[in-house]
């Protein structure tokens, strides 16, 4: 009997039920390059709707504004910056226009509504309140009156509506990435190598995102490990050793074992048509049911913008699945430590990427160390960039909530106790962050200020956002 088991929940609500083009598929590709095909094997379908005032009608921006030129400019910008999406366009100047557009857009994954001018007869509100996934954009000094009357009320009603009121066009693109992220998650496959029962969380993940959790026995991964090419594993070991600023404790044999585990995980991902894996590493390794630690393999997977996640933590793994596509960057799980004396939070773990800005960006320095708790195997201490904002969060599928805080990276702590990577950052208030802490120890950290993008993704998933600290 096969020990692979697909765990799922047949119920789909919220965004998944509303998304007409989002039938489940068999493959989970969560690429950093969002122009690559999604799990459905196609681009995200977006119906772009421009709302405006009628000819000769006074209003904002002003009577007989040149809407056509503005539409061409916006569409050119979308096509240049959003290769992951394909667009159809329409114009609405009334509720009746919007109703026809909604009906014609049944195959769209969502609507992108540019409120170019007012009055538009409630055209934007009709789409936003349709229950379909919608991004509402204020053309500043054009559609502002309608935006303020639509976006807040739609969010309060729990509708899948994200809003952009910004002079940066890149913020519109980020909101589109959020729509694309939801579409990609639907049908994704998360490999969970564990001996525990993940059925409760897998059901929550299935219902919230449409993703499947595939349980894999440790023996199945070990079987692949035993058949791996020592030549391939050795090449990876040499690559990591050459790239490291230094190797401290591990022997070459231990690094080679890490290479074999990486090759085995890559093979398993290919077999299962997935790009997302989590391994119950501590439980299985301590029980001698895992050949070696997967830390170096996770390091490489995350640098390449796949998802390699620690400790069979499905909440953090699914968070990484979403955020890696949303940002185009790798994140990492940590066990945070709070220091109120210095107003710091230290994100500690034995896995972290060295290409925190994405696979095509320069790498930061790293050391190869032993795994901290038992001083065995090979892991990574990543010395990450300082002086920039980080965003740390968890998407909680069962609660339909995102918990998030932000902190400025200030130091790479050199301390022998606890996990090898220790990125220290300054939050708004470490004491308040400790008081607000909830939902387990783990958090997932991404470089950059992603608050607006997370808010858009949460809105489209119909999650609420809670700021910690």
Confidence of residue 373 (pLDDT cuts 50, 70, 90): confident
| Alpha-carbon distance values, 1 to 214, 220, 226 (Å) | 15, 12, 20
20 or 410: which leads in pLDDT: 410
**Which pLDDT does position 32 carry in this prediction?**
60
pLDDT in tens, 126-144: 999 999 999 999 999 999 9
Looking at 413-458, which runs of residues are DSSP E strands? 421-427, 443-447
The DSSP annotation for 352-411 comes to --S-TT-TTSPPPPEEEEEETTTTEEEEEEE----SSEEEEEEEETTTTEEEEEEEEEEE
The answer to whether the 41-184 and 186-467 domains have the same CATH topology is no
**Measured CA angle at 100 (ends 96, 106), to 5 deg:** 145
41-184: which CATH architecture? 3-Layer(aba) Sandwich (3.40)
Q: How many contiguous H segments (helices) and E segments (strands) does the chain have?
A: 15, 20
Per DSSP, 118 falls in state: B
- Can you tell me the distance from the alpha carbon of 131 to that of 133, in angstroms, rounded to the nearest whole number? 7
Q: What is the mean pLDDT of residues 339-346?
A: 98
Residue 1 has pLDDT above 50, yes or no: no
- pLDDT for 42: 87
- The answer on pLDDT for 33 being more than 90 is no
> Residue 372, by phi and psi: left (phi above 0), alpha (psi -120 to 50) or beta?
alpha
Q: What is the mean pLDDT of the chain?
A: 91
For residue 109, the SS3 value is: coil
Beta bridge partners of 371: 376
For 20-133, where are the E strands, in sequence order? 44-51, 85-92, 110-115
State how far the Cα of 312 lies from the Cα of 281, in Å rounded to an integer. Answer: 7
- Tell me if 233 sits within 8 A of 378, measured CB to CB: no
How far apart are alpha carbons 126 and 128 in whole angstroms? 6
For residues 341-348, give the mean pLDDT. Answer: 98
179 has pLDDT over 60: yes
CA separation for the pair 24, 321 (Å, rounded)? 16
Q: Distance (Å, rounded) from C-alpha 22 to C-alpha 33?
A: 20
Q: 64-106: per-residue pLDDT in tens?
A: 999 999 999 999 999 999 999 999 999 999 999 999 999 999 9
Which tens digits make up the pLDDT trace of 40-63? 678 999 999 999 999 999 999 999
Band of residue 113 on the pLDDT scale cut at 50, 70, 90: very high
> For the chain, what are the domain ranges?
41-184, 186-467
Fold of 186-467: L-fucose Isomerase; Chain A, domain 3 (3.20.14)
Token pair of 393 as six digits:
């969060």
pLDDT of res. 38? 53
């Amino acid at each position: 009997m096969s020990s692979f088991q697909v765990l799922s929940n047949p119920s789909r609500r919220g965004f998944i039920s509303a998304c007409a083009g989002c039938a489940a598929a068999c493959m989970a590709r969560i690429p950093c390059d969002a122009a690559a095909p999604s799990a459905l094997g196609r681009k995200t379908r977006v119906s772009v709707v421009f709302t405006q005032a009628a000819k000769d009608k006074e209003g904002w921006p002003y009577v007989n504004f040149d809407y056509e030129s503005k539409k061409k400019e916006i569409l050119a910008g979308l096509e240049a910056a959003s290769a992951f999406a394909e667009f159809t366009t329409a114009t609405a100047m009334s509720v009746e226009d919007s109703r026809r557009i909604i009906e014609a857009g049944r195959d769209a994954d969502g609507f992108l509504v540019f409120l170019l001018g007012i009055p538009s007869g409630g055209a934007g509100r009709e789409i936003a309140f349709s229950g379909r996934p919608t991004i509402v954009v204020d053309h500043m000094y054009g559609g502002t009156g309608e935006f303020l009357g639509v976006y807040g009320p739609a969010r309060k009603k729990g509708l899948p509506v994200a809003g952009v009121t910004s002079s940066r066009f890149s913020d519109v693109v980020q909101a589109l990435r959020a729509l694309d992220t939801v579409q990609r998650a639907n049908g994704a496959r998360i490999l969970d190598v564990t001996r525990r029962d993940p059925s409760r969380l897998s059901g929550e993940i299935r219902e919230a995102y449409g993703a499947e959790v595939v349980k894999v026995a440790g023996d199945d991964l070990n079987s692949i490990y035993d058949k791996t090419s020592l030549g391939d594993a050795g090449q990876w070991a040499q690559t990591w050793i050459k790239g490291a600023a230094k190797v401290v404790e591990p022997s070459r044999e231990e690094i080679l074992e890490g290479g074999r585990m990486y090759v085995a995980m890559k093979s398993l991902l290919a077999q299962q048509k997935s790009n997302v894996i989590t391994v119950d590493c501590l439980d299985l390794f301590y029980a001698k049911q895992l050949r070696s630690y997967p830390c170096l393999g996770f390091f490489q997977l995350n640098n390449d913008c796949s998802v390699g996640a620690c400790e069979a933590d499905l909440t953090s793994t699914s968070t990484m699945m979403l955020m890696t596509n949303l940002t185009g960057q790798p994140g990492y799980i940590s066990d945070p430590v709070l220091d109120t004396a210095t107003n710091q939070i230290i994100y500690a773990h034995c896995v972290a990427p060295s290409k925190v800005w994405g696979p095509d960006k320069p790498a930061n320095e790293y050391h190869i160390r032993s795994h901290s708790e038992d001083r065995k195997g090979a892991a990574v201490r990543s010395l990450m960039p300082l002086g920039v904002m980080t965003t740390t969060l968890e998407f909680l599928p069962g609660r339909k909530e995102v918990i998030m805080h932000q902190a400025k990276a200030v130091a790479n702590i050199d301390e022998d106790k606890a996990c090898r990577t220790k990125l220290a950052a300054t939050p708004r208030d470490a004491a308040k962050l400790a008081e607000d802490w909830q939902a387990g120890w783990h958090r997932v950290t991404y470089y950059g200020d992603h608050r607006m993008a997370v808010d858009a993704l949460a809105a489209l998933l119909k999650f609420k956002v809670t700021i910690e600290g």
